[in-house]
Amino acid sequence: MNDDPRFLTHDPFPYMPDGWEPPARVERARSSMRHVSTLLTEARTLPPLPAEVPERGIGDPSCSTCRGFGWVRTQDAEGVAACRCVVLDPAAGLPPRFRDATFTTFEITRNLAMEPALNATLAVATGTSSFAFLFGPPGLGKTHLLAAAVRARRERRCTAIFAEVTELLAELRAAIRDDDMVDPVGQRIGHYADADTLLALDDLGAHNPSNFSEESLYRILNRRYNSSAPTIISSNAPLELIDPRIRSRFRAGFVLCKGRDLRGEV
Ligand SMILES: [Zn+2]
């Protein structure tokens, strides 16, 4: 969590004389930042940790932090969280560039227009809402928010996976050739449709449409919709290119992402 007080008390006009009133636009920005602060505080109330820490290790035995135990001490009220080796287990699917993405490292003050997207992803991560569907041009931080939601859940030892749509479809296509399993594609679809797992599905619409891809994605997302499974989708594609069956089901979670491309400005 970002406890840096500058994050929330940043004054865009620090050198103006006493009694000077900031323009309404700045006041709106300040109030928006206060709102984000409340949300981030609430994000601490993610689903509760399991009552008992298992005796056997759940972490990576070669991890130098937890030596395979899987838990680490923290300064917050819980006092314990899943170790980094558990959070970043390859099964989480987090892309290397976004392994350290969290809600507090999302620089909302650089683009307040992304506040609704931050709110929506936080709501799914904390369990107060089931769906968020972020759409808009690339470079606004959508992938960062998806990764942050996955990390936040995994720190609480809740299952969460990040999947880039084209990678997911490639995995399903590869499963067709798996002769060791009965219905290998169905099993992979079941994995991604699991109602207890938060799924962050990145870049919907970037794939080449085919019957196989459209039906596979629909089977996953329809099952998730029917069980109100926590699901966050992002898309850069024009909305009319998204399967209308998916569009209509996740309409309640739509968030339009706006602003300018922030990549390369750091
Ligand atoms: Zn560890």
Q: What's the pLDDT at 32?
A: 66
146 vs 263, more confident: 146
How many angstroms does the Cα of residue 77 sit away from the middle of ligand 1?
Answer: 20
How many angstroms does the Cα of residue 53 sit away from the middle of ligand 1?
Answer: 14
Residue 48 carries which DSSP code?
Answer: P
**Best-predicted range by mean pLDDT among 46-55, 88-97, 218-227?**
218-227
How many angstroms does the Cα of residue 127 sit away from the middle of ligand 1?
Answer: 26
- CB of 79 within 8 A of CB of 73? yes
Provide, rounded to the nearest whole percent, the portion of the chain with pLDDT above 70.
76
Per residue in 2-47, pLDDT (tens digit) is 444 334 344 444 455 566 565 666 666 666 666 666 666 655 556 6
pLDDT, averaged across the chain: 83
Mean per-residue pLDDT, 181-204 = 93
What is the CA 144 to chain-centroid distance, rounded? 7
State residue 163 phi and psi, 5-degree precision.
-140, 125
Let me know if 96 is exposed, middle or buried by CB neighbors in 10 A (0-12, 13-18, 19+).
exposed
Q: Which domains does the chain have, with CATH numbers?
A: 58-83 (no CATH), 88-256 (3.40.50.300)
